[in-house]
Structure 1
Amino acid sequence: MASSEAPALHLGGHPLTGIVDIGKTHTRLMLIDSVGELVHKRNTDSRAVPGALGYDALDVATTEAWLCEQLAGLGPLARHLRHLTVSAHGAAVAALRGGELALPVADYEWAGFDDRPATLAAQLDPFEATGSPLLPRGLNMGVQLDWLSRHAADELAAADTLLPYGQYWTHWLSGVAGSELSALGCHTLLWRPREKTFSDWARHRGWAQKFAPLKPAWATLGPLRVELATRLGVPRSVMVHTGVHDSNACLARYLHHWPRLTLVSTGTWVVVMAPGAAQRPLDATQDQLANVSVRGEFVPTARFMGGRELAVVCAGADPAAASLDRLPALLARGLRVLPAFSDQGGPFSGQSGCLAIDGRTLDNAGWLATLPVEADRATAAAWYAAQMCAWLIEHLGATGPVVVEGPYAHNPVILAALQTLLGREVLHSLDEVEGTARGSWRLCHWTDPVSDAPRTAPISQPAWNASLLQAAHRHWLAQLPGQD
């Protein structure tokens, strides 16, 4: 597993908060001091392994070993550690028996989860009630549980406790089990956000009764387990918090300051979250769905697998090579990139992506041959990402300032193109700490009387022909099958 290390930045005697961010692609440990400065950061790759029960599983054992190694290696920093919390992706569920895993934690990308009863959709609560569409593979936590109930029935039945993935890790740290709203409410099929209760389907299948009691994301579960603290050389007094769904951690960071905004959280997934959006019916066919904020609020959401799709269109180019100067010339050559480049989620899932320029539609080899300069491929990918983000925002009815977080916040082509296409204020994060980690840190200090305004800046609009971009975007919209 690849690992990257950053030196400790400073200490200064401030108490430290530890953030464990377990994403689908990377796992991180960060230490942030009491004034919000990053002190320490370590990264490793997340991965899946063949599971003992026939499905691909998240590599919990390797993540656990890596985390123990990192915590044990903190040295003098360890004595300043006061809080620990976890953020994690939302499409995973841990089943425990007697406090230990009853079966491997499934990897949502495993294709076997598409093996479903023909009657499954009819069993579910209405989309209007859950805000959760029926998604491919194991992107719905409920679909994973349904598959396990049919293919690993004895093991699942023997489980006495169910936990969202992030809360599995805070349970591992503290020994205390607690479920959390934002994790239960992120496209699981198990939660009715407006009613703030489990779905009828979850209750009927007996799963609702097995989920650990709800705890606020910012609540303290308890101190670090004695055995773990002793083994790792970390103070027993470290308090473990409930933890949070990763995209909702990012949102929580902004809700203190902007109750109405459009947050574009980027990573493996691009998630557009719009608290306060105009109340209009969500469209499950466009992969619009409801999230639930850490405060229990209904949050209209749209998304696509933007990190993966950006990489596909880059075709080996570094996304950072995207250049504002190169985009007009590419558009003048008829550049057109149509979705989709991932078969998971997004409004155009199931459609085959199209790469076209100079009047020709290209396969991957032709794309590389026609655009041999990395900066051109990176720029084309960034333009496509901006168009997709603009489409999601407009169709969601999102309001307020648009704030871009994560890797897209550092891509000048995405930012400038997005502002040109939307014609409204777009801000990008300047925080050296990414939004998920910053939000997790803020949740550990949720009730503290501290004002830490988000570090953002407006986009500087380049001196380019905006009408050229807008005309190219209109042409792109016209090429989307069944779209306006």
Structure 2
Amino acid sequence: MSSSPPRHIAVIDIGKTNAKVVVIDRADGVQRGARTTPNIVLEDIPYPHMDVERLWAFIIEALADLGRTHGIDGISITTHGACGALVNDKGLVLPVLDYESDVPDAAREAYERVRPDFSETLSPRLPGGLNWGAQLFWQSRAFPDAFGEATAILPYPQYWAWRLTGTLASEVTSLGCHTDLWAPDRGDYSSMVDALGWRSLFPPLRPAASVIGTLLPEIAAITGLAADLPVACGIHDSNASLVPHLGRDTGPQTILSSGTWTILMTLGGKTSGLDPRRDSLANVDAHGRPVPTARFMGGREFDLLVPQIVTPTEAEIAHVIDTGIMALPSFVPGVGPFGLRTGGWTQASGSLTPGQRNAAASLYLALMAREALDLCGLGRSIVIEGPLARNRLFGQALARLAGVPVRPSGDSTGTSLGASLLFGGGLSEACEVPACEPLHSAGFDLYVENWRRQLSS
């Protein structure tokens, strides 16, 4: 294996909605190639679960194709959280449970008696399987024989690293993302892990940025990649968005990571404003430090609100603001700062043009993001990562609402750039773009006031 850091990094990036493999040039942070596929949930027995074999076939094919086309010098991995695998030397002992399934709620009352307090884990109780600990608890009781055959519990990024290298590892960003399994202030497993006798099942902790190993010979042969290709341990996707900013001494800074979830994390912020009843929590960054976080399912909600994505005209934006066309939370139950509310429109949405719907939905996401900032803390600036970086109206509205510079990331690869930086390097200046100009609308302040008034009524 070469002593110099690899340059062309293949990033396996598994989001909840889509999975992709991209090649990023570490020298300039530019994406050289990409392959994507939908992330499919299988609804058959024994419970809704991720189609890992389909993903594996996609990953292998994409690595082989991108390796031939662009060359690959290293592999990094980032995945969504609230997910993990129970394995032994034969493979999975149970399917990888879909966190959106409500099957863990069957053990909810028993789980409430064993899960740690928020003050220990900074992890709120979430619905369904959004607490990974709740998944493991339910699996251990619903399938005790299979659970007993597991020799390792792997966070999801490290599951894929294991399949590539054969090396078992745990890592703190996935252990610390609302799992109930980690105590951020202590930097150790939670009291529940020891009470349930699970500690020995978690492999040794490895830094996200460490090289976990090299490709298994059979994987190298199938993909045509070098057998000594280094594979990074891997990282939780929201935390991947933080990696480019971890070395910057700029005071508190908010990173908004977008995708299926809209997640706001304030580096250097305080955890004292977190409210477990409003889907705010502490993530754990790649250095093991708590990061106050608030979130809502912005990408999922936008898809529900907007059947057809178009760019609204200035006239359509003005019409929405001046006539008070609003979306009110929440359109995905149980999550976000207003998870107990049922979402709806202030007027019949069927009468709106596609542009008007897009405008109202973009303003809705900005208003929700501003509410989230009251929980995780407002940094001196905000950086938008992922798809929302391309939504001009969202950025303008958030800049007006927050009163601090809001800068869309120039990186089109979302979390993938951060994952590629696990091999070293920093944020490319090419990724810096000008801050959004705050939304200019005489009626916007009244629009915001009315939106908030309807939530309090």
Tell me if TM exceeds 0.5.
yes
2:362 partner amino acid: A
Aligned equivalents of 1:462, 1:51: Cα separation in 2: 48
Aligned equivalents of 1:281, 1:331: Cα separation in 2: 31
Contact 1:181–1:214 (8 Å) recurs in 2: yes
Contact 1:402–1:427 (8 Å) recurs in 2: yes
Alignment of structure 1 residues 96-245 onto 2, 5 Å: 96-98=87-89, 100-245=91-236
- Higher mean displacement: 152-161 or 32-41: 32-41
State TM-score, norm by structure 2: 0.94
1:352 is matched with which residue: 325, 332, 342? 342
1:333 aligns with 2:323: yes
Aligned equivalents of 1:22, 1:317: Cα separation in 2: 25
Identity of matched residues, %: 33
Structure 1 residue 259: deviation in Å?
Answer: 5.5
Structure 1 residue 452: deviation in Å?
Answer: 3.1
List per-residue Cα deviations over 1:15-35 (Å, max 9, x = no partner).
411100011100000011231
1:40 aligns with 2:20: no
List per-residue Cα deviations over 1:333-390 (Å, max 9, x = no partner).
1212210000242121132102013xxxx4xxxx22x11x211111110011110011
Residues 323 and 216 of structure 1: is their aligned pair in 2 closer, same or farther, counting only changes over 3 Å? farther
List per-residue Cα deviations over 1:273-324 (Å, max 9, x = no partner).
012124524210011101000001110000000001111111x121x42344
Aligned equivalents of 1:231, 1:425: Cα separation in 2: 48
1:298 aligns with 2:290: yes
Q: Secondary structure at the match of 1:85?
A: strand
Residues 341 and 279 of structure 1: is their aligned pair in 2 closer, same or farther, counting only changes over 3 Å? closer
1:101 partner amino acid: L
Structure 1 residue 203: deviation in Å?
Answer: 1.3
Contact 1:324–1:379 (8 Å) recurs in 2: no
Alignment root-mean-square deviation, CA: 1.7
Match of 2:53 in 1: 61
Match of 1:405 in 2: 385
List per-residue Cα deviations over 1:230-267 (Å, max 9, x = no partner).
12211112101100000000011222224520111110
State TM-score, norm by structure 1: 0.89
Residues 438 and 451 of structure 1: is their aligned pair in 2 closer, same or farther, counting only changes over 3 Å? closer
1:391 partner amino acid: E
Aligned equivalents of 1:222, 1:379: Cα separation in 2: 47
1:248 partner amino acid: N
Structure 1 residue 415: deviation in Å?
Answer: 0.7
Q: Secondary structure at the match of 1:263?
A: strand
Alignment of structure 1 residues 376-455 onto 2, 5 Å: 376-434=356-414, 436-445=415-424, 452-453=428-429, 454-455=431-432
User: Where does the alignment leave 5 or more consecutive residues of structure 2 unmatched?
Assistant: 1-5
1:28 partner amino acid: K
Contact 1:322–1:412 (8 Å) recurs in 2: no
1:154 partner amino acid: D
Q: After TM superposition, which residue ranges in structure 1, 4 or more long, deviate above 4 angstroms?
A: none
2:354 is matched with which residue: 337, 350, 374? 374
Aligned equivalents of 2:290, 2:255: Cα separation in 1: 14
Structure 1 residue 422: deviation in Å?
Answer: 1.5
1:295 partner amino acid: H
Contact 2:263–2:296 (8 Å) recurs in 1: yes
Contact 1:269–1:307 (8 Å) recurs in 2: yes
Q: Secondary structure at the match of 1:236?
A: coil
Alignment of structure 1 residues 261-280 onto 2, 5 Å: 261-280=253-272
Contact 2:207–2:233 (8 Å) recurs in 1: yes
1:475 is matched with which residue: 441, 450, 455? 450
Structure 1 residue 116: deviation in Å?
Answer: 2.3
Contact 2:85–2:156 (8 Å) recurs in 1: yes
User: Where does the alignment leave 5 or more consecutive residues of structure 1 unmatched?
Assistant: 1-13
Number of residue pairs aligned between Structure 1 and Structure 2: 449
Aligned equivalents of 2:257, 2:313: Cα separation in 1: 22
1:343 partner amino acid: P
Aligned equivalents of 2:134, 2:440: Cα separation in 1: 49
Aligned equivalents of 2:188, 2:144: Cα separation in 1: 25
1:456 aligns with 2:433: yes
- Higher mean displacement: 164-173 or 348-357: 348-357
